[in-house]
Chains A and B, each alone.
Chain A
């Protein structure tokens, strides 16, 4: 889906280092989300945004922070990466109207050694 991109697509880092993942959309959607997916599991919501500078926590927010300074970009930061944060991270976007499905980005595979 070209309307939503994630960067980087793959990253290997060491424990204790900061990491920032970027989600970029060209759809001008209001809502943006960060999920993580661990092996054998569905996705779990980390944080989401309902507008520029408006964010809220999801189910598994500990150890993560987010920022949204522009409509099109939603950043996920791991201030000090830990091995438990090794996962695949998916960004999603959705419109204001409910009952419209969100669209997911291609994912970022993060490995923390």
Chain B
């Protein structure tokens, strides 16, 4: 079963605009992570946010976490064509082994 549900499943925007993707999950978590995957390629880790954190930034990325609503959002500001990819959230429920449970992903397309 998928822990994370991502919304929207697909998003198409113009270059320069901001992109927001949302992730909801069902059970308590230790941390939540966001990954990017270019078509046919491996996973690139973007950000890890711990359950006791509410917001985290990395360059043009901003991640929020609301544990009361069991949801997270990933904001990409000033999007670029190179940001075109699939984005996945993944939750880690326990300490120690990182048995990640992934969402189905959001397919982001940045139009030039």
Q: Which residues of A contact B (CB under 8 A)?
A: 31, 33, 35, 40-45, 48, 50, 58-59, 90, 92, 94, 96, 98-107
Contacts and interface: CB of A to CB of B under 8 A. Distances in A.
B42 A104 contact: yes
A43 B102 contact: yes
Given A98-B92, A106-B42, A107-B41, 20 more contacts: A33-B99, A33-B100, A40-B105, A41-B105, A42-B2, A42-B102, A43-B88, A48-B97, A50-B96, A59-B1, A59-B101, A92-B98, A96-B96, A98-B30, A98-B96, A101-B33, A101-B45, A102-B98, A102-B100, A103-B45
Contacts of A33: 98-100
Interface string B68-112: 000000000000000000001010100111111111110000000
